[in-house]
């Protein structure tokens, strides 16, 4: 399969590298600065699932140079979506490729569907704790990475079968799931709580888990987010809500969110894409989400990096 990974941050480089590792034709569409770094260093992955290196990754910096692509994996942060949409649209129209977005949240889906056609946008998300070090190498720190995807349109079943077959050979979890929309909402619910509390407290998970009052904030955010999912047509039972809370409890004690990592580095954070998106869902359905709203308000000053 000819796969273009749009963005080579930690997520894009990791899963793109794993797909290339099993022989797929993988290229990366990146900014000039990242392209220069990858040309100098190569693409390196340091991971419990196995270290790997691509000495000369195939790189593109202009959409005009890209042809013959079957699948575009969109691996950018939510706050970069506006900037990449014109290029993504051009690449998709030139190639006819399907688009597999790995963004957090749900608001990006209708925007992508409007840009490139609903029949061309698969559902997908990742679960991994990874970052780039000073050399641009991927540092994957949790036991296993996971990329899950699935069709949202009948036309997508063939490409999903092909990707599932490739996933069976990969040195990480790349698998198709039946109800991708619900799985995406579950990730959104989880990450809104996990990122919100770790970023707001500036603490890794063990401190937020072991403080009863702090973990109550996480649980209440999960309940509020599940209510929004139900209003949007994806209902959750009490047992399913409890499962998400249990998943948060079982998150590795030393783990922290990428939002917290970005906050520590003075980088932009996805507060508008995640928590702001939840507030827009709440406004749409005329419901109140006071815990999410409070966390949003506390993190909003850091949206574009450390305030000066």
What CATH number should be reported for the domain holding residue 188?
1.10.1040.10
Do 37 and 159 lie in one domain? The reply is yes
- End position of a domain, from candidates 126, 151, 177: 177
Q: Does residue 79 share a domain with residue 41?
A: yes
Quick check: is 43 in a domain?
yes
Same domain for 147 and 25 = yes
Q: How many domains does the chain have?
A: 2
- Considering the domain architecture, whether residues 25 and 150 belong to the same structural domain is answered as yes
pLDDT digits (tens, 9 = 90+) for 235-264: 999 999 999 999 999 998 988 998 999 999
The answer to whether residue 75 scores a pLDDT higher than 90 is yes
270-291 pLDDT, tens per residue?
A: 999 999 999 999 999 999 999 9
Other residues' Cβ atoms within 10 Å of the Cβ of residue 58: 13
Classify residue 308: in a domain, yes or no. no
Q: Is position 120 within any domain?
A: yes
Residues 120 and 233 in one domain: no
Question: How many angstroms separate the CA atoms of 152 and 94, rounded?
Answer: 22
- Residue 69: what pLDDT? 98
198 and 87 in a common domain: no
Single residue among 177, 205, 226 that ends a domain in this structure: 177
d(CA 225, CA 48): 32
Residues 171 and 251 in one domain: no
> What average pLDDT does the segment 158-172 reach?
97
Radius of gyration of the CA atoms of the chain, in A = 19
Q: Is residue 89 part of a domain?
A: yes
Which has more pLDDT, 168 or 306? 168
pLDDT band at 80 (very low <50, low <70, confident <90, very high): very high
Residue numbers of the domain that contains 97 = 2-177
Are both 94 and 31 inside the same structural domain?
yes
**Please, which pLDDT band fits residue 143 given cuts at 50, 70 and 90?**
confident
Q: Does residue 271 lie in a domain region?
A: yes
Regarding whether 66 and 215 lie in a shared domain, the answer is no
pLDDT number for residue 129: 87
The strand pairing partners of 3, in sequence order, are: 26, 71
Q: Which of 268, 272, 267, 283 is nearest to 231 (CA)?
A: 283
Instruction: Give pLDDT, residue 94.
Output: 96
Domain-located, residue 307:
no
Last-in-domain residue among 155, 177, 199: 177
71-74 vs 2-6, strand pairing mode = parallel
Across the range 173-193, mean pLDDT stands at: 97
Residue 112 lies in a domain: yes
Q: Are residues 85 and 157 in the same domain?
A: yes
Q: Is residue 277 part of a domain?
A: yes
Look up the CATH number of the domain holding residue 23: 3.40.50.720
The pTM (predicted TM-score) of the whole model is 0.94
CB within 8 Å of 218: residues ≥ 6 apart = 193, 194, 196, 197, 208, 245, 248
Residues 226 and 195 in one domain: yes
Q: pLDDT at position 44, please?
A: 98
So what's the pLDDT on residue 142? Answer: 83
Q: Are residues 44 and 193 in the same domain?
A: no
| Percent of the chain residues topping a pLDDT of 90 | 94
- At residue 54, the pLDDT reads 97
Which of helix, strand or coil describes residue 269?
A: coil
């Amino acid at each position: 399969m000819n796969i273009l990974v749009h963005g080579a941050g930690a997520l894009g480089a990791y899963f793109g590298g794993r797909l290339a590792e099993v022989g797929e034709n993988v290229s990366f569409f990146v900014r000039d600065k990242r392209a220069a770094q990858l040309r100098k260093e190569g693409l390196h992955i340091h991971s419990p699932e196995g270290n790997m290196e691509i000495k000369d990754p195939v790189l593109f910096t202009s959409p005009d140079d890209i042809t013959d692509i079957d699948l575009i994996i969109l691996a950018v942060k939510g706050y970069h979506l506006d900037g990449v949409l014109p290029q993504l649209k051009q690449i998709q129209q030139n190639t006819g490729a399907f688009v597999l977005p790995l963004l957090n949240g749900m608001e990006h889906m209708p925007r992508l569907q409007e840009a490139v056609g609903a029949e061309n946008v698969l559902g997908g998300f990742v679960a991994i704790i990874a970052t780039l070090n000073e050399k641009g190498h991927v540092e994957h720190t949790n036991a296993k990475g996971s990329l899950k995807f699935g069709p949202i349109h009948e036309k997508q079943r063939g490409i999903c079968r092909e990707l599932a077959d490739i996933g069976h050979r990969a040195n990480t979890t790349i698998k198709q799931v039946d109800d991708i929309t619900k799985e995406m909402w579950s990730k959104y619910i989880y990450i809104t709580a996990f990122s919100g509390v770790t970023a707001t407290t500036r603490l890794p998970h063990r401190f937020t888990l072991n403080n009863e009052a702090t973990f109550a904030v996480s649980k209440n955010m999960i309940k509020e987010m599940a209510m929004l999912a139900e209003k949007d047509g994806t209902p959750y039972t009490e047992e399913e809500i409890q499962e998400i809370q249990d998943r948060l409890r079982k998150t590795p004690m030393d783990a922290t969110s990428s939002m917290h990592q970005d906050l520590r580095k003075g980088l932009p954070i996805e507060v508008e894409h995640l928590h702001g998106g939840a507030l827009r869902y709440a406004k749409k359905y005329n419901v109140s989400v006071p815990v999410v709203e409070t966390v949003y308000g506390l993190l909003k000053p850091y949206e574009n990096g450390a305030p000066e």
